[in-house]
């Protein structure tokens, strides 16, 4: 965040977009595809190659159905083959003379080191299994299938046409990976499985593999911010291949942006911690002063009070040992500085702090409207309102107070995935982090219509 004068955040290079998740075996155990049934040049007897092969077989089944349906032409499978490389121990003898390319465009096996890519010159997919093994250890075994889904998405773009800008190409491939993932979650895949409860890791993977914060969206390396990438994935997961086909144009909203000042670049877009309270205390009333007239109501600004570790004895705050919340008895938004705001600032960034305060502030707004503040609807609504608030911040509505910096919107999503299900934040909620980020995305992109406050 950048404070206005008035007021005293591993990217795979090249084509390497990935979704990270944690696969699990469903009620009927998926059947492995053998190496003879689905050959991958250079593959070894590893878990990474096994999952990649299974995913590729399921992707072939998925696209054999989806491509004719959505593009009106016969499905064309990959013609140049698939390649697995261990960049830490390359065995040149495992590959043909053209390496992981073709006669038209030869490429040595180390050309995919620390990467995964689709090469349209040869119609091949190649990946570095050493990298995937490392990321899988950190994020769960759905990583490999998701990488394959993104890269096969590029192969489909090679058939129906690539967009002009790199960021549209990459986020559309994320969308296609999301459509495939929904197909898997719905139980249609024969060889891989993924539960809805494991999707939090998928979203965290998108954010973790964003562009370097501050990279311009028109850079020819651009894949998008974390929010851009997860937003693409959600579009496919919810809307399917048709949404990916129709909604990814040069006019699509992207939050990736460059730093505008040297100070912002030097501090990675993070305002000093002591300035954030002023930013939120001024911008949140401005936001709700704009919202409430549309509901035929006047907004009364609540007090914001931080505490150090021990929740105040007001309403349910003390009894539930809350880290944030709104107490109707005294009209105060309470937030724990020691156990929540401080760690969120250090571990995520400045807009994570603003997000925390905004969630409790949204509860105050709902209370003033006579709405619930402690059930699943209230949680989803508060998150959606926080997304709407972030969207208004992004478009410059609070320019006299401050502005968002590159990476700030990503920080909000990371906060929800990291802290959203903690008892001290939203006690007894059944919403997953994936669902919370979806609500935030709805508010950010579409405003208050889906925030369940009567608009």
Contacts of 422 (CB under 8 A, 6+ apart): 323
pLDDT tens string 158-175: 999 999 999 999 999 999
Per residue in 378-402, pLDDT (tens digit) is 999 999 999 999 999 999 999 999 9
pTM: 0.91
pLDDT at 9: 24
- What is the distance between the alpha carbons of residues 451 and 444, in angstroms, rounded to a whole number? 11
Pair 112, 85: CB distance under 8 Å: yes
pLDDT > 90? residue 156 = yes
The span from the first CA to the last CA of the chain, in angstroms, equals: 29
Binned at pLDDT 50, 70 and 90, residue 13 comes out as very low
Query: What's the CA gap between 439 and 453, in Å, rounded?
Result: 13
Cβ–Cβ under 8 Å, residues 133 and 185: no
Whether 16 has a pLDDT exceeding 60, the answer reads no
> Which of 374, 356, 351, 367 is closest to 304 using CA atoms?
356
- Structural tokens at position 33: 């595809």
Mean per-residue pLDDT, 84-100: 97
pLDDT above 60: residue 24: no
Task: Say if CB 199 and CB 432 are below 8 A apart.
Answer: yes
Residue 318: its pLDDT value, please? 86
Q: 1 falls in which pLDDT band (50, 70, 90)? A: low
Distance CA 201, CA 180 (A): 16
> Could you give the CA distance from residue 272 to residue 1 in angstroms, rounded to a whole number?
9
| pLDDT at res. 147 | 83
Band of the pLDDT at 309, cuts 50, 70, 90?
very high
Q: Assign 3 a pLDDT band (cuts: 50, 70, 90).
A: very low
Summarised one tens digit per residue, pLDDT across range 94-127 is: 999 999 999 999 999 999 999 999 999 999 999 9
User: How far is residue 14's CA from residue 223's CA, in Å, rounded to a whole number?
Assistant: 9
Q: How far is CA 287 from CA 34, 66, 177, 281, 326, in A?
A: 57, 43, 35, 11, 18
Residues 402-442: pLDDT tens digits? Answer: 999 999 999 999 999 999 989 999 987 889 999 999 999 99
At 440, give phi and psi (nearest 5°).
-60, -45
- d(C-alpha 410, C-alpha 279), whole Å: 18
Beta-bridged to residue 119, according to DSSP, are 124
Q: How far is CA 128 from the centre of its chain?
A: 23
Provide the pLDDT for residue 394: 95
pLDDT of residue 348: 96
- What local confidence, expressed as pLDDT, does residue 442 receive? 97
User: Is pLDDT larger for residue 12 or for residue 235?
Assistant: 235
The per-residue pLDDT for 2 is: 57
Mean of all residue pLDDT scores within the chain: 91
Phi, psi of 2, deg, nearest 5: -115, 130
Write the CB contacts of 227 (distance below 8 Å, at least 6 apart in sequence).
207, 255, 409, 410, 413, 441, 444
Question: What share of the chain in percent tops pLDDT 90?
Answer: 79
- pLDDT > 90? residue 6: no
Do 124 and 101 meet the contact criterion of CB atoms below 8 Å apart?
Answer: yes
pLDDT tens digits, residue range 323-355?
A: 999 999 999 999 999 999 999 999 999 999 999
Mean pLDDT of 358-384: 96
pLDDT attached to residue 28:
60
More confident residue, 8 or 177: 177
User: Lowest-confidence range among 212-221, 277-286, 411-420, 430-439?
Assistant: 212-221
Which pLDDT does position 19 carry in this prediction? Answer: 33
HSE-up (13 A, CA, CB side) for residue 375: 5
Task: Give the Cβ contact number of residue 82 at 10 Å.
Answer: 23
With tokens 């990217």, the residue in question is 11
pLDDT at 437: 97
């Amino acid at each position: 965040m950048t404070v206005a004068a008035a007021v005293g955040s591993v990217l795979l290079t090249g084509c390497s977009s990935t979704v990270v998740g944690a696969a699990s075996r469903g009620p009927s155990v998926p059947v492995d595809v053998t190496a003879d049934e689905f050959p991958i040049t250079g593959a070894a007897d590893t878990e990474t190659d096994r999952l990649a092969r299974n995913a590729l077989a399921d992707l072939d089944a998925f696209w054999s159905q989806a491509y004719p349906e959505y593009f009106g032409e016969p499905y064309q499978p990959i013609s140049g083959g698939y390649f697995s490389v261990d960049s830490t121990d390359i065995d040149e003898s495992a590959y043909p003379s053209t390496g992981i390319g073709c006669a038209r465009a030869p490429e040595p096996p180390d050309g995919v080191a620390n990467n995964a890519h689709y090469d349209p010159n040869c119609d091949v997919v190649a990946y570095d299994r050493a990298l995937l093994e490392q990321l899988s250890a950190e994020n769960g075994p759905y990583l490999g299938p998701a990488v394959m889904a993104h890269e096969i998405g590029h192969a489909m773009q090679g058939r129906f046409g690539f967009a002009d800008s790199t960021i549209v190409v990459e986020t559309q491939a994320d969308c296609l990976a999301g459509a495939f993932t929904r197909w898997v979650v719905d139980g249609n895949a024969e060889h891989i499985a993924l539960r809805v409860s494991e999707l939090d890791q998928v979203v965290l993977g998108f954010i973790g593999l964003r562009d370097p914060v501050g990279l311009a969206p028109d850079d020819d390396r651009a894949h998008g911010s974390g929010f851009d990438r997860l937003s693409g994935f959600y579009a496919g997961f919810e809307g399917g291949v048709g949404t990916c086909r129709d909604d990814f144009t040069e006019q699509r909203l992207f939050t990736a942006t460059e730093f505008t000042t040297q100070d912002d670049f030097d501090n990675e877009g993070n305002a000093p911690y002591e300035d954030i309270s002023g930013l939120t205390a001024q911008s949140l009333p401005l936001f709700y002063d704009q919202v409430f007239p549309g509901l035929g109501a006047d907004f009364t600004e609540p007090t914001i009070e931080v505490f150090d570790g021990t929740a105040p004895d007001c309403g349910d705050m003390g009894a539930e040992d809350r880290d944030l919340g709104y107490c109707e008895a005294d009209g105060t938004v309470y937030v724990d500085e020691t156990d929540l705001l401080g760690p969120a600032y250090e571990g995520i960034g400045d807009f994570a702090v603003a997000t925390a305060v905004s969630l409790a502030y949204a509860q105050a707004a709902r209370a003033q409207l006579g709405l619930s503040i402690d059930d699943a609807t209230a949680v989803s609504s508060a998150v959606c309102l926080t997304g709407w608030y972030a969207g208004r911040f992004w478009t410059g509505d609070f320019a006299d107070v401050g502005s968002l910096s590159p990476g700030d919107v990503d920080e909000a999503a990371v906060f929800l995935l990291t802290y959203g299900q903690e008892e001290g934040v939203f006690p007894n909620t059944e919403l997953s982090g994936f669902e919370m980020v979806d609500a935030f995305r709805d508010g950010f992109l579409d405003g208050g219509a889906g925030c369940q406050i009567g608009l």
